[in-house]
Every structure is written in structure tokens, then in C-alpha cells.
Structure 1
């Protein structure tokens, strides 16, 4: 049977299945909590908003017999945000450890293991959700399902494995940047399509069929990864690595060796770039994690259809960010491209904090059209600093800290949202915008204290890459 070196189909199918279910989990939890807290069924809504429905119910005093809307909404909002925080925290530690171990291990035994195991974990989660939904089991079993799924890795493991996979196949720095940006764009495009489908899928078929579809998608994807996808990195088994002691030594000290065999200058650059990456990820994804709750809250009170359209606009951001990287990389240095992307997020989050109408909530995505640009460019810059034999260890480290800060950001912003929702729901977005100033400041420091211009930065990266490639690996 012919095998392929195309990891993009695996990445795309994983994104589609994951994002087909992710917003549905939030809405399922929201509706279950609504029923438990209010002892009433979730209010029916039209295709636009349920605020108008509830307003008319208040005025007529005929159809709405539940507790006052604002008090009920606040209680459910708090409970839903806290549930999301607990779910993130319980899955955080196992996911981080598995990501760190598997992606670093892929330097020694190939990248496919970092792709196959997360697919198994996602399949387990989808089947668990189906069981909880069909048999109306305890809602908090979803947290247990998240924990079990995290034992197989998660999106951080998949990202680290796929980015390492494509870097293995690249020959130069520009090719790395475009290939990584292309992988980001595929992720955004397919996840955007999935998010468009969720609202209609939910309205027509309920919660079970979308997750059944996601489970089938993960299963087919798993079969492709196991039987068709070729290994990008095949390492010869030497005598010293054939023993369990040598294998464990390489696994344990992979990331340590990444820094131990580099110069102080290279290590400083690596650490600074990773800090910039993670601080921006914390602010960006931390703010985005509460967008669905914000849209469900007054005065927007969106239906599942509008939530699907809103989430799907991320597809446009991935496309425009890829085009931005492709065009701007021809005339601007990497640091300038990253700064423009961070500025895009800063402006978008600030405007979102004051969005009170449906039109404004859709228009707020316009200043965020280049929001994804910093991620592929930073990954590319990091990959240029180390040799090909260290890509797994590098992306393991990046995926570890990225997953850590993304999950902590999600938990922190959900907690802040539960505290501030009663007096200013948009506060979390102002907080996210303020936190974006940290990586932007570090980026300026990197520019003015380490490099004279963009060409010098590229020269340093190439120089460090050569030094690391020529140095013998530490056993």
C-alpha cells in the first residue's frame, strides 16, 4: 500500500472533528446547568437572539414563568465559566506531561506517535460525551472524560508533532515559515467550516449526531495516520540507543540537551522567543475562551446559529494571516510581522470589550484579521535556531509551555469573567488587550537591544543554526 508524506489531511480532519464538538460542549454544559439551576427548560429562541423573546415575555408576564432573567443568566454564566475552568485544570497536567514526553521522544523514534495518540484520546472523549448525553449521566463526568483524553496527549501534542513533521521536510528558513503558516491556515479554514456547521447541526439534529460525526472523523483519521502516513524522521537504531537505559537517558535529557549544547547567546534568544510566544498565547487565547459565554449573555443573547457564524470568522483570520505572512515576509523582517499581528489582537480585544450589538460583534473581527501571524513566524524563528535533530525537543518545549499558558489563560479568564460578569462583562477583553502589551514590549526589546535591523536578526538565526548543527549531540 502506498504511503504519503502529507500530514495536512490529518491536521485538517483533527481540526474539523475537534471544533465541530468544542462549541457544542460549552452550549451543552450551559443548557444542562440552566435546567439544573432554574428547574425550567432552556428557553426556545429564534435564529437571531433570545433577548427579544425574553423581553416580550417580561412585558406580557404570560409566557415567562421562571426567575428574573438577569439573575438567572448571571448564575448560569458563573456556573458555566467555573465548569470550564475545572475542566481545563483537570486536563492540564496529564496533557502537558504527555506532550513534553512524546514530542521530545519523536526525535528518537519518529513523529507519528505524536499524531496517533491524540487521535485516540479525542475519539475516547467523543464517545464519552455521547454516553453522557444519551443516557443523561452526571454532567461532571465530562471533566473525567477530559482527564482520560488528556492522558493520550491533546492539541498541544498534535501541534508539536505536526509542526516537527513539516519542519523535517523543509530545506530553508523561508520554506519553514510558509509551510508552518500554511499548516496554521489549514487548521483555521477547516475549524471555521466546522464552526459554521455546529449551529445548524445542533438545531437540526441535537447534540448527539455532531459528536457521532466527530467520532467517525477521528476514527477514519486514525486509520489514515496508522496505515498511510509515512514517517518523516527515521532514526537508525544504534547500539547505545537499543538499550533501555540509553533510550530513557535520551528521553529524559532531550530538552536539557537542547539548552546544554547551545551557546549562551542562542539559549538567551530561545528563552526570549518562547516567553514572547507564551505571553501572547496567554493573552490571545485567554480572551477568546470566554467569547461564547459573552455572546450568550445580555445584551447579545445569541442563538447557536449566530454563535456558529461568529466562531467561523476565525476562518477568515487564518486566511488573511497566511496571506499577510506570505506578502509581508517579502518586504518586512520577522519581528515587524509579529508586531503587526500582536497590534491586531490588541485593537480587536479593546473594541470587543465595548461591543453591545450583533453588528458590532461581527465588525470587531476586522481589526483582528492579522491576529494569527505571530504564531507561525515565531515557530519558524525558533526552528531556525536549532538543528534538525533537535526539532522534536524544541517543539516539545514550545508545545509544553504553550499548552500550559493557554490552559492557565483559559482557567484564569473564565475565573475573572465569573467575577466581573455582573458589573462589566467586557473587562476580560480589556485585560487581554493589556496583557498583549507584555509580548509587544519584549519584542521591542528584542529588536532594539539585540538586532540593528531585520537582516541582522536573520543572520544571527542562520549563524546559531550552523553552530548547533555542527556541535555533537550530548548522549
Structure 2
């Protein structure tokens, strides 16, 4: 009896989105480390007039990443909207399956670049293919939409944060081993080949799994008839009231907070990968993997923060706590000159990943379930449009400040984080006092 029960439980788990999420993130973290090291090696001989060789390498790397990420930002806009509409019309797996095919092709492209020593510019074409498949812009809202419709409104923020936790744990494991896998090579295989083979296989498995195994399950929002006899009183515990209509001002404020925070986080992370490869840090592939793992550890601490704090504070306060955590840590990052200081700065970012899933949870409660996928995709597109501005801006600011203050971009990120606290604070002031419901007996 025990074995059939375990097999049935395992089958149910395998039909959820989580196994796909884990395999995709493992493959992506391996790919990220490989791309970072390949770009560094290909930029070693870069030369620009009037600047040193190391600064020339930094400029070549940052220029590559700027172009690469701008392509990824621009190309998925229309495909992501189309996939979101398909998802809201009942094709919930479309925003998962199609982007995963783009993930697979882009990882395969970098493998070909390494094996056949193709020009690094081939990755610009891979980025375009990745974007035309919808990319992360379609994939992540699709994941969040499945998590949203598969949970009750009361538990939605916790479920979404659990998805973020699995995403972070997979990234942590992948980052820890990525640097070591990159070092594996033989007389016939260059550095990074084995790493990219594993990454490509993981994405292939996640794509096959999403086509064959993934199940879409929707939890009804209606309460049973007997639960409608309720009496409420004010409390600090969570409760969710269905709004009479969409509060457009709250939606706009949530979008503004998300965009400002994404500018802060995205701008800092855009430069951080290049920053750690220059002196005085000058990280190796293994250290890069460990540094990425430190970033993914924040997924775990942020999840634990949500579990511990959500009983005592509102969702808005959770967002503010996360923003303060990021602003403090990234400001300290401005003055990092040694590896231990880097980890100290990252340790201050314990709750930095709380804001975005919590904002998505708040947004999902402002719209009906039939528009949830479209709303979350519109938010993701807004973040993409913001990236079109902040990626080149942060890149050029970093290149201009390399001589006198390379960490200036991190100070700028902390300022944007503080600005993002303003609209979310207004949402908190506008929100009604939360209520807890208790059952009363019905004769």
C-alpha cells in the first residue's frame, strides 16, 4: 500500500510546474556562468584608444552585454503578448512550452560557439531567437499565472514566494557546480564544453516534460455556501476581500513601484557580473559560480522572511522591508574592494527578493482570474521597456566612472530603490484595514 501511494504522490508532483522550473533554472545558471567566462576570454585582447588594457576589456564586455540584453528585451514584446492571450484563453501551457524551446536553442548556440570557435556575435542571433520565442518575458508570467490560478487568493503570495524559493535553490545548486564544470576539459574539449552540454540537456528535458507531463489545475475562488455566514473583526492576520472593481490607481502605483525597483536591481546586476572580473577582485570561474550562488541564497532567506513576517505585517510592509534590504546592501557594494566585502554586502540583501513576487501577488488581486496572465505579462513588458533605458544608461555610466568610482552605479541603484518605496507606501496608505473572518454557527 505504501509504494503505490508514494508512486501516486510522485506522479502528482511531476505534473506540477515545479520540476520544469527546477530543470530550467539549473540549466540557465550553468549557461550564465559559461557565457560570462566565454565573454571574458573573447574580450581579453580588446583595445580602445586612451584607456588601459583592463579598462578596454571591461568596456568590451559591458558593450557585449548591453547589446545582448537589449536584443532580449526588444524581441519578445509581441510574442509575449500573443502567448499571454493564448494562456488566458485556455492554452495555459503555451507561455511555458514556446519559451522553453527558445531557451534550448540559445543554449545550443553558445555550445556551437565554443566547440567550433564561432564569433561571439553569433550570440546576438541566439538572443533574437530566444526573444522571438517569448523568452523570460513570457515564461515567468506563465509560471506565475499557473501558480496564481492553482492557489486561493489568501495563500497566493506564499505560493508565489515558494516558486521563487525553488527557483533560487535550483540557481544556488547550479551556481555552486558551474565553476567546477567549466574547468573540466580534455585535449578534444575546450573549457566550458561539458558545462554547456549539461545545460543543453537540462533544457531539453524541461521542454519534453512541459509537453508531456505538465498539468493545468485551477482552484475555484468561490467559497462554499456554509462559509458565506461570516462575521469579521480587525486583525493583523491576512485576509482577502474581493474588490468591487479594478482599482486603476492602485494598479498604476504597483506598476510604478515594480518598474523603479527593477531599474535599481536590474541596473546593479547588469554591472555586477563585469565588476567582479576586474581588479581588485579579478574572480576566476569558480569564484564567479560561488558569487552567483550567494545571489541565489537570497531566494532562500527571502522566502523564510515571508514565512516569518507575513503573519505580522501587510504585503505592502513586506515590500518595503525588501526594498530597504536591497538599498542597504547595494549601497555597501559601492565600496567593495575585496571578496569578503562582496559577501558582506550580499548578506545585507537578505530580503531583497521579497518585493517583486509580493507586488505580483497584489496585482493579481486587483484583476479577475481571466485577466491575470495578461496583467502579469503587461507588468513584465513594462519592466522590459524600462530595461531599454536603464541597461545602456547604467553601462555608459559605469564606463565613464571606471577611473574614479567604479561602484557609483551601485549608489545610483540604492537611490532608485528609495524612490520605488514612495508609490508602494501610497498603496499602503490607500489600502483598507485588513480583516479576519471567523465562522458563526448557522441554525
TM-score higher than 0.5 here?
A: yes
Query: Displacement of 1:407 after TM fit?
Result: 5.5
Q: How many Å apart are 1:355 and its aligned residue? A: 0.8
CA distance in 2, matches of 1:92, 1:341: 25
Question: Which digits, 9 at most, give the CA deviation of each residue in 1:75-94, with x for residues without a partner?
Answer: 01011101111111122222
Other-structure match for 2:210: 225
1:341 and 1:363 mapped to 2: Cα distance? 17
Greater share of residues in helix:
1
Is residue 417 of structure 2 the alignment partner of residue 417 of structure 1?
no
* Stretch of structure 1 that moved more, 341-350 or 145-154: 145-154
1:271 Cα deviation after fit: 1.3
TM-score (norm 1): 0.79
Q: CA deviation at 1:141?
A: 1.3
**Aligned twin of 1:79:** 60
1:131 aligned to which of 102, 105, 112: 112
Match of 1:196 in 2: 176
Residue 274 of structure 1, aligned match among 252, 255, 266: 255
Alignment partner of 1:14 is 2:24: yes
Measured after TM superposition, the shift of residue 442 of structure 1 is: 1.6
8 Å contact kept, 2:46–2:53: no
Deviations 1:64-111 (A, max 9, x none): xxx99x811000101110111111112222212222221232010321
User: Are 2:143 and 1:162 aligned?
Assistant: yes
Runs of 4+ deviating beyond 6 Å: none
The structural deviation recorded for 1:5 is: 4.1
Provide the TM-score with structure 2 as the length reference: 0.85
Aligned-residue RMSD, C-alpha: 2.4
Q: Give per-residue Cα distances to partners, 1:160-205, cap 9 Å, x unaligned.
A: 00100011111232x1111100001111111111111121111223
Q: Which residue of 2 aligns with 1:252?
A: none
Question: What 5-or-longer segments of structure 2 have no aligned partner?
Answer: 1-7, 186-190, 220-243, 438-443
2:368 and 2:432 map into 1 onto residues whose CA distance is: 25
1:187 corresponding residue in structure 2: 167
2:99 pairs with 118, 137, 142, which one? 118
Q: Identify the residue that residue 198 of structure 2 maps to in structure 1.
A: 213
Equivalent positions of 1:460-471 (< 5 A) are: none
Alignment check: 8 A CA contact 1:329 1:337 kept: yes
**Secondary structure in 2 matching 1:297:** coil
Given that 2:257 and 2:424 are in contact with CA atoms closer than 8 Å, whether structure 1 keeps it comes out as yes
Give the superposition deviation at 1:281. 1.1
Instruction: Please list, as runs of the form range in 1=range in 2, the aligned pairs for 1:67-466 lying within 5 A after superposition.
Output: 71-173=52-154, 175-205=155-185, 206-232=191-217, 263=245, 266-406=247-387, 408-448=389-429, 450-451=430-431, 453=433, 455=434
* 1:36 Cα offset (Å): 5.0
Q: Specify every segment of 5 or more residues in structure 1 that has no aligned partner in the other structure, as ranges.
A: 39-66, 235-261, 460-475
The 3-state SS of whatever aligns with 1:35 is coil
Query: How many residues are aligned here?
Result: 399
